[in-house]
Amino acid sequence: MTQQSSTTSAVAETGARIAPTGKYLDRELSWLNFNDRVLDLARDAARVPLLERAKFLAIFASNLDEFYMVRVAGLKRRISAGVAIPGPTGRMPREVHEAILERTRELATEHARLFSDEIRPALAAEGIELLRFDDLTDAEKARMRQLFVERIFPVLTPLAVDPSHPFPYISGLSINLAVLVRNPQTGARQFARVKVPTVLSRFLPLSEGRFVALEDVIAHHLDQVFSGMQVISHHFFRVTRNEDLEVEEDDAENLLFALEKELLRRKVGRPPVRLEVEDDIDEHMLELLVSELDISTREVFRLPGPLDLRGLFSVADLDRAELKYATFLPGTHPDLAEVETAQPADLFAAMRQRDVLLHHPYDSFATSVQRFVEQAAADPHVLAIKQTLYRTSGDSPIVDALIDAAEAGKQVLVLVEIKARFDEQANIAWARKLEQAGCHVVYGIVGLKTHCKLSLVVRDESDNLRRYAHIGTGNYHPKTARQYEDMGLLTANPIVTEDVARLFNRLSGMTGETSYRRLLVSPHGIRDGLIERIGAEIEHHRAGRPARIRIKVNSLVDEQVTDALYDASTAGVPVDLWIRGICTLRPGVPGMSETIRVRSVLGRFLEHSRLFWFENGGSPAVGIGSADMMHRNLDRRVEAMVSITNPRHVTQIGALFDLAFDDGSATWQLDGNGDWTEHTREADGTPLLDIQEFLTERSGRRSRATTGD
C-alpha cells in the first residue's frame, strides 16, 4: 500500500508548496520534506517502538534548529545584503524564505500535535508520564519546592528591563520565561526575563516513570524569584539565531586563532531567524518580544507547549528495552574474525590476504577501523600513521591511539578539520592536545574543508616498507559508527595506498597533486569523473551493451551532475537514485527523466554511505566515498572516492541497491512534483521489508555462525 504523508497532503491543499517548474526542485523545501519523513517515523506506531518514536520527535526538532541556524540564516543574510539573484529554480531568495516559513509552520504544528495527541498519551499508558506542575501530587509539589530552593534558584539569573537595564541578549536555543511583574508600592509594571538553565535536567524525575519539565517548576516559583513584586503573567519563548561561521582564510597560519575569535563572536551579536512562543502568549508581551528582538512577525511560531522537544532525547534513553529497538551488537567482519584468535588480532595479516569491505554498523567499528589504528599505534614495526579527523567522540580511542603512537616515537600526521560545523570547539581542543603529544597537526588546504575519511599506516616489514589504508564514507567516530550506516575499505593494495599517500602529501602542503589511479578527489576530480562515467553509460546503452546508473548519497543538489543524469535518462539509461535527504532532481518527468527512480530509506540507523555503481557494459565500475552531490562537496571540500574492484564486494554493493529498489522493501518514493509517497505496507497493511532490520538480522546470524554460538 502506498500513502502520501499527511503534512505533504496538507501543504498541497493549502497551496503553500511552490509547484516545481523547470528542471530542479527547491533545495530548502526538499530538505523540509526530508524532515517530514523523519516525522513519519514518529507517526509509525506499527513499525517503530514507542521510545524510538519519541526520539524521532527529538531528532526532528534538532534537525529543524540546525536548518534555521545555517540554511535560513544564510538565506536571510543574502536577502538583507540585497543579493537578489534567483536560485537554480528561478525563484528569488525572498520567495523561497516565505515558502520555508509556511512549510515550517505546518510541520512544526504537526510535530507539536503528534507529541500532545499521540506520543505523550502513549507514553503515559506505558507508565512514562510527562506532567505539568498542576498535575503533581501534593507530596511531589513539596519535593519540587525543596528542589527549587536548593538546586534551581541558586543558578537562576533574572534580568529586569528598565531605563538602567536594557533588554537582555537572548542566547540561541535557550528556553526563556518572559515575565511581567508589578511593583505593589508604585503600581509600575516591568518586564523581566528568566533563562532556564541548561546545566540541569530538562525533565526532572519525580518517581519511577514520572517527570515534570524544569521550566514548569521555575514558572510556579516565580514569586520567590521576584520577591517583593507581584507576578502578573509569564510566557515561555525560544529564539533561534544565525549560528553559521564566517572565517577569512587568507592567512592560514592564523586560521586557528581566527576561528576561536569567531566562535566567541557566535555567543553574541547573531541576528535571530526564528521566534517560538507558546500559543497562549499575551499579545502585548509578544509585541514586546518581536520589537526588542527585531524579528518579523512572519518568523514567529505559536505552538502548544512544551517548547523545544529536543528534551525527549533524555526520555528516549530510559531503560525500557521493551519500548525500543531490539538490542543489536555489531559483529566482527568475517574476514577479520579469522585473525581474532591471534594475540593481539593481526589486522595487517588479514589485509595482506585481501581487501576488506566494511559495512557499519552491521560490521563492528571497534574490531575493524578502531583496532586498525590501535594496532598500528602499538606495533613496533609501524613507522608512521597519517589520519584525517572531521568529527570524533569526546573520549575518542582513535585520538588516544594517535597520541600513544606519537609518544612511542612514531611519525604521526593528523589533519584536523577545525571548521567542521558545530564541532569547531571540540576539534580545536583535539588539535592542541595532539600537538602537545608530538603529533604533526595540519589544518588542510586554505579555502577548503577536508571531509575525506582516510587513514594510512606505513610499516617496516622484512622485505620492504608496506602501506595499509582505510578509506571510508563516515567519520572516525566510535559512537556514531553504531548509529550511522557507512562503508569503508581496508586495503594493502599498493596502487590504492600510493594514491592515499600522495593525497596526504597534498593535504600537508607537500604537493599540488590532483591526479590519482584508483581515487577520485574533489575539488578537481569527482564531478568530472562522475559526469565522464555517466557519459560512458550513455555510449554503452547506444551500443546495445548493458548500461545502468545507481547512486546512493545523502543529498543530490549539484546541477551539473543532475543535468548529466537527465541526459542519461533521455538517452534511455535506467537511473536509480537512493537519497536519504535532499534531492533537487525531478524524477519521472516525460521527456526529461522518465527512466529515473528516486527512493529514500530512513529508520533505526542514519543512512550515510555514498555508493556509486555504473554497469559499464557488463563490467561494473563501483566506488565508495565521502562526497555528496552538492556544490560544497564538489567545489569547496577535499573529498575522496575509491574504486571497488573485488568481485565479491561489487556483488555486495549491488545487492544493497537491489534491496532498496525492490517493490517489497519499505521506502519513500519521490515524484516529479517534489512529493514523497510512503511505500511501507502491503494493501492489507502488512509491513514491507525493513532493509535495516533485514541487515541487522543477517549480521546477527553471521556473527553466530562465526563464533559457533
Helix 50-67 vs helix 93-114: crossing angle, to nearest 10:
160
Which residues make Cβ contacts (< 8 Å) with residue 362, sequence separation at least 6? 330, 331, 695, 696, 698, 699
Annotated catalytic residue within 451, 470, 540, 649: 451
Q: Report the distance separating Cα 428 and Cα 332, nearest Å.
A: 33
Q: How many degrees, rounded to 5, is the angle at CA 68 between CA 25 and CA 270?
A: 140
Q: Report the distance separating Cα 514 and Cα 552, nearest Å.
A: 25
Mapped to the 3 state alphabet, what secondary structure does 237-285 carry?
A: EEEEECCCCCCCCCCHHHHHHHHHHHHHHHCCCCCEEEEEEECCCCHHH
Which three cell numbers mark 221? 516559583
Long-range Cβ contact pairs of 461-469 (< 8 A, separation 24 or more): 461/381, 465/383, 466/352, 466/492, 467/492, 467/494, 467/497, 467/498, 467/500, 467/501, 468/348, 468/351, 468/372, 468/376, 468/492, 468/497, 469/496, 469/497, 469/500
Q: Report the distance separating Cα 539 and Cα 357, nearest Å.
A: 30
**Whats the size of the chain, residue-wise?**
709
> Does the annotation count 451 as an active-site position?
yes
Q: Report the distance separating Cα 450 and Cα 447, nearest Å.
A: 10
Instruction: Residue 194: name the closest of 207, 209, 208, 176 by CA.
Output: 176
Q: Around Cβ 122, how many Cβ atoms within 10 Å? A: 16
Q: Is the dihedral of CA 39, 43, 52, 481 positive or negative?
A: negative
Identify how many contiguous H helices and E strands the chain contains and give both numbers. 23, 28
Active-site amino acid positions: 451
